[in-house]
Amino acid sequence: MSNQILCFYQNKTNQLQIARIFNVANFHFEQVVFSGEKILFETVPEAELQIDINTPIGVIVTKTIICRDLKVLN
């Protein structure tokens, strides 16, 4: 993939999270993100990072972030 950007995400909750990129063809990214953990990853600006959080009552809460909003500034 050309035109990739470096992105940063931090799990600011006290819950375990699953981070994945799901909308880019021929690209797979999925990672467990522990409470307080910080991750760096490269992808295209239009990619969407999906964050799944499993709550104590068993409900999965999902949020989606456009990766260009997570871009590390030079």
pTM of the model: 0.87
Determine the pLDDT at residue 2. Answer: 66
Average pLDDT over residues 60-65: 93
Please name which of 21, 65, 19 lies closest in space to residue 38, comparing C-alpha atoms.
19
- The band of 1, judged by pLDDT with boundaries at 50, 70 and 90, is low
Alpha helices in the chain (DSSP H): none
- The band of 38, judged by pLDDT with boundaries at 50, 70 and 90, is very high
Distance CA 46, CA 1 (A): 12
Domain carrying residue 30:
5-70
Q: What are phi and psi of 62, to 5 degrees?
A: -120, 135
Q: What are phi and psi of 18, to 5 degrees?
A: -115, 120
**Which DSSP helix (H) or strand (E) runs through 32?**
strand 29-33
State the total domains in the chain. 1
Residue 74 has pLDDT above 80, yes or no: no
Question: Could you tell me the two tokens for 29?
Answer: 């990214």
Residue 56 has pLDDT above 90, yes or no: no
Query: The domain spanning residue 39 has which CATH number?
Result: 2.60.40
